[in-house]
Amino acid sequence: MSVKNKETIAAETEADMRQPEEASRRLEVLKTYKIFIGGKFPRTESGRYYVAQDEAGHKLANVCLSSRKDFREAVVAARTAFGDWGSRAAFNRGQILYRIAEMLEGRKLQFIDELVKQGAGQAAAGQEVEQSIDRLIYYAGWCDKFQQLFSSVNPVATSHFNFSVPEPTGVVSILAPQDSALLGLVSVIAPVIAGGNTCVVLGSYSKPLSAVTFAEVLSTSDVPGGVVNILTGKMEELAPYFADHMDVNALVYCGDDMEMKKLLQQKAALNLKRVVFYDHVDWMSANGQSPYLIADSQEIKTTWHPIENIGGAKAGY
């Protein structure tokens, strides 16, 4: 009897699928585009939102208009996550970045679809998504290799073994590129987390869909909660807090607004943040990726290790 039941159901389902007018009557379930803090997807605490539109002015989605308090919460999450992430084996960080790329590959069509909705051509969107995946792989490889590149053993005149190594700076706040919704975002996040930092990122205001969907990729790819936190909202409103928060150690700004740069530098001076500007970078080009981008959010720690005699040299005293 149960067999017969199954057959009946299968036949009915098939019948449903053969009737397109029947299917089109179904109300589509739309995604709520929420922000990403500490591995969770809350709405902004402010309850505000704005309407993201395509180039023709059609509504794409209601998107969270994040407030400074969302940023504050995100910094707390990033700071909490830093201890674990920064002290993980570099190789493990590489594995996780590779995993992000895998997850992104699996969602390729969704990202292309969103980029097209946000105004990109079909071919360009496909290229952008592929480039983003490749970029993650690129930095996954660098995770346990950039240290050798930027480390040095320094000649000194005393009987010390003196060496310098890069270490993660800490929490990095990132004002991501406004025009390159996915590739730009990936290109600034990847080197920061590859280096063991955690970050709070503000996605593109006019093209926010990719940033939120990328957060979904992150949450399913073994990235510990809080390592990457993604907000959506107005740069003019949030940038001052990104720059002057005392628990943030570095700031990345992608843009060429001189007034903004001046403001950020002034505010960041409060606790001597490392300030990095990426203006006029073509993220599609080879200039969009480099181990030097990892070095931008690293601190160099120099150790003086006392020894009795190195390389046959006599102590100087």
- Nearer to other proteins by Cβ, of 36 and 82: the residue is 82
Using CA atoms, how far apart are residues 223 and 102, in angstroms rounded to an integer? 13
What is the C-alpha separation between 76 and 81, in angstroms, rounded?
A: 9
| Residue 74 CB, nearest approach to other proteins (Å) | 11
Q: Alpha-carbon distance 122 to 99, whole Å?
A: 26
Give 161's strand partners: 305
- Work out how close the CB of 263 gets to other proteins at its nearest, in angstroms, rounded to a whole number: 14
| Minimum CB distance to other proteins smaller for 61 or for 77 | 77
Nearer residue to other proteins within complex by CB, 79 or 274 = 79
Chain centroid, CA 158 distance in Å: 43
Pick from 97, 292, 76, 315: which is nearest to 194 by CA?
97
Bridge partners, residue 51, by sequence: 62
- Measured from the CB atom, the residue of 104 and 175 that comes closer to other proteins is 175
Residue 271 beta carbon to other proteins: minimum distance, rounded to whole angstroms: 7
In this complex, which beta carbon is closest to other proteins, that of residue 72 or of residue 261? 72
Closer of 75 and 215 to other proteins (Cβ): 75
Residue 200 Cβ, how far from other proteins at the closest point, in Å? 12
Angle at the Cα of 191 from the Cα atoms of 244 and 255, rounded to 5 degrees:
55
Largest CA distance in the chain: 97
Strands (E) across 130-249 are located at 152-154, 160-168, 171-175, 198-202, 228-231
CB 199 within 8 A of CB 173: yes
- With respect to other proteins, which residue has the nearer C-beta, 128 or 244? 244
Tally of residues, the chain = 317
Residues that bind other proteins (CB under 8 A): 72, 75, 79, 241, 244-248, 270-271
- Smallest separation (angstroms) from other proteins to the CB of 68: 8
Smallest distance, Å, CB 247 to other proteins? 3
Least CB distance from residue 48 to other proteins, whole Å? 17
Q: Least Å distance between CB 173 and other proteins? A: 11
Nearer to other proteins, 66 or 204 (CB): 66
Nearer to other proteins, 79 or 88 (CB): 79
Phi, psi of 49 (to 5 degrees): -150, 165
Cα–Cα distance, 39 to 77 (Å, whole number)? 9
Q: For the chain, give me the number of helices (H) and strands (E)?
A: 12, 10
Written as six digits, the tokens of 209 are 């869909």
The radius of gyration computed from the CA coordinates of the chain, to the nearest angstrom, equals: 24
Find the helix packing angle between 90-106 and 122-142, rounded to 10°. Answer: 160
Smallest gap from residue 38 Cβ to other proteins (A): 16
